[in-house]
Amino acid sequence: MKRVNHEPGFVLHHYDWSESSVIAEVFTRAYGRMALVAKGAKRPSSNFRPVLLPLQPLLLSWGGDAEIRTLKSAEWAGGHVMPTGDALLSGYYANELLMRLLAREDGHARLFDVYSALVHVLAAEKGETLHASALRAFELLLLRETGHLPALDAQTLTFEPLAPQDRYSLVAEGGLRSAQGEQSGAWLLGRHWLSLAAALDDEAPFTAALNVCAGLPGESRSGLRQQLRELLHYHCGGGILRTRQMMIDLQSFTS
* 85-254 CATH: 1.20.1440.120
The domain ranges of the chain are 3-76, 85-254
Task: Please state, in angstroms and rounded to a whole number, the distance separating the CA atoms of residues 35 and 15.
Answer: 11
pTM, to two decimals:
0.92
* Whole-angstrom distance, CA of residue 52 vs CA of residue 78: 13
**CATH of the domain spanning 3-76, picked from 2.170.150.20, 2.60.120.200, 2.40.50.140, 3.90.78.10:** 2.40.50.140
Residue 249's alpha-carbon distances to 92, 150, 254, in angstroms, are: 15, 32, 9
- What is the chain's pLDDT, residue by residue, as a tens digit (255 residues)? 589 999 999 999 999 999 999 999 999 999 999 999 999 999 999 999 889 999 999 999 999 988 899 999 999 998 777 888 889 999 999 999 999 999 999 999 999 999 999 999 999 877 788 999 999 999 999 999 999 999 999 999 999 999 999 999 999 989 999 998 776 779 999 999 999 999 999 999 999 999 999 999 999 999 999 999 999 999 988 666 666 655 554 455 444
Return the number of other C-beta atoms located less than 10 Å from residue 189's C-beta.
20
